[in-house]
Amino acid sequence: MLDDREKMIALGREVVAIESGAVATLRNRIDVRFAEACRLIMHCEGRVVVTGMGKSGHIGGKIAATLASTGTPAFFVHPGEASHGDLGMITPGDLVMALSNSGETAEVVTILPLLKRMDIPLIALTGNPDSTLAREAGVHLDVGVEKEACPLDLAPTASTTAALVMGDALAIALLQARGFTPEDFALSHPGGSLGKRLLLRVRDLMHSGERLPIVREDDRLREALIEITAKGLGMTAVTDTMGKLSGVFTDGDLRRCFDARHDLNEARVAEVMTHGGIRIEQDQLAAEAVKLMDEKMINGLLVVDNDDRLVGALNMHDLLRAGVV
């Protein structure tokens, strides 16, 4: 059994070495042809349509998804289905990126005359520069490998890895050329944690209106306790007699009241409140609220507008529920 384990470990390491070597070889192939492929895609007025059969198709689907999420509109079309109606998904102004290790995949080669008739630019990723697909392409990117990681040299392994990495290289080069920002990325990932951190603003999560806990400085502690309990934020904003924000009264302030043996029925909020309080503006990112709470080691924030007027309140539970934390 030990010998079997050693053989598995050795084989696994060999696979990684072979595929790492295939990827390393690509470095010297990032040349003027790569730059020309990027230029064609940058000037494409439509979408990048990625196609490929079998394992190349799976890689093509991933490349299309990566392009689409980094600022280059793209989608995948199965070449077999393209010959039976789906070619209608490709329209003037689009660009086709075709993947085939041999460069002779029948389903891909079949649609080449139709692409030429429609004057669709073609970028090919193959392992054979002399293949039909490579010759017909406006730009050919060589993703050939010396051998597959498969001991039988049959299952696409190193070749698909190389194609995937070349696709990533194109996507990232285009991302940089377009000036794509984290905010742009978030717009196409609104449901992900990154999207929430970059898109959600404090105003989207804060408690306002009747949900906002407020007491006045001359209110008794008992009234502040009722307001905190009713609104469920573990704190309440405090205003002066003119209605201007003057501070906050929190669960922590309440505990200190008990330690100091204040009479809840007689003591006034002004005597025990935290003057000023930590505030955040409503237009700031919710992620900034998380950072501020962590730095100050607090669980709640008062929310103000640009004129420092109270407009809401926010606590850590709101951020947790929204998935920002």
For the chain, which domains are there? 2-180 (3.40.50.10490), 202-322 (3.10.580.10)
Instruction: Assess whether pLDDT exceeds 80 at residue 159.
Output: yes
54: closest CA among 153, 156, 146?
156
22: region left, alpha or beta (phi > 0 left; psi from -120 to 50 alpha): alpha
What is the CA 133 to chain-centroid distance, rounded?
A: 34
Q: Is the pLDDT of residue 167 over 60?
A: yes
312-325: pLDDT as tens digits: 999 888 888 887 76
Looking at every residue in the chain, the average pLDDT score rounds to 88
Q: Are 222 and 266 in contact (CB under 8 A)?
A: no
- Strand, helix or coil for residue 85: coil
Whether 187 shows a pLDDT value over 60: the answer reads no
Is pLDDT above 80 for 176? yes
pLDDT on residue 111: 93
Token pair listed for 167: 């696709």
Better-scored residue on pLDDT, 163 or 180 = 163
**DSSP 8-state class, residue 88:** G
For residues 259-266, average pLDDT:
78
- What does the pLDDT read at residue 144? 94
pTM: 0.66
Q: What is the pLDDT of residues 224-256, one digit of tens each?
A: 889 999 998 889 999 988 878 999 998 888 888
pLDDT at position 40? 96
Task: State both tokens at 143.
Answer: 């993703």
Q: pLDDT at position 178, please?
A: 84
Residue 100, strand partner residues: 126
- The total of other beta-carbon atoms located within 10 Å of residue 203's CB is 17
Split at pLDDT 50, 70, 90, the class of 185 is low
112-127: pLDDT as tens digits: 999 999 999 999 999 9
Buried b (16+ CB within 10 A) or exposed e, 89-114: ebeeebbbbbbbbebebebbbebbee
- The pLDDT of residue 322: 80
Instruction: Record the tokens describing residue 77, joined without a space.
Output: 């079309």
Residues 6 or more apart whose Cβ sits within 8 Å of residue 221: 254, 257, 262, 263, 264, 265, 267, 268, 269, 272
State the Cα torsion 136-25-20-106 to the nearest 10°.
10
**Phi-psi sector, 206: left (phi>0), alpha (psi -120 to 50), beta:** beta
Query: Which pLDDT band, with edges at 50, 70 and 90, does 195 fall under?
Result: low
**Token pair for 9:** 């470990």
Q: Which of 26-35, 91-100, 145-154 has the lowest mean pLDDT?
A: 145-154
Closest CA to 127 of 47, 59, 42, 74: 59
- 74, 120 Cβ separation under 8 angstroms: no
Residue-wise pLDDT tens digits, 270-306: 888 889 889 999 988 888 888 998 998 888 899 998 8
What is the pLDDT, as a whole number, of residue 263? Answer: 78
For residue 129, CA distances in Å to 11, 164, 188 come to: 30, 18, 36
Mean pLDDT throughout 29-41? 96
Segment 42-70 shows an average pLDDT of 94
User: Can you give the pLDDT at residue 104?
Assistant: 96
Across the range 87-112, mean pLDDT stands at 94
Share of the chain above pLDDT 90, in %: 56
Please report the pLDDT score of residue 71 as a whole number. 85
- pLDDT(2) > 60: no
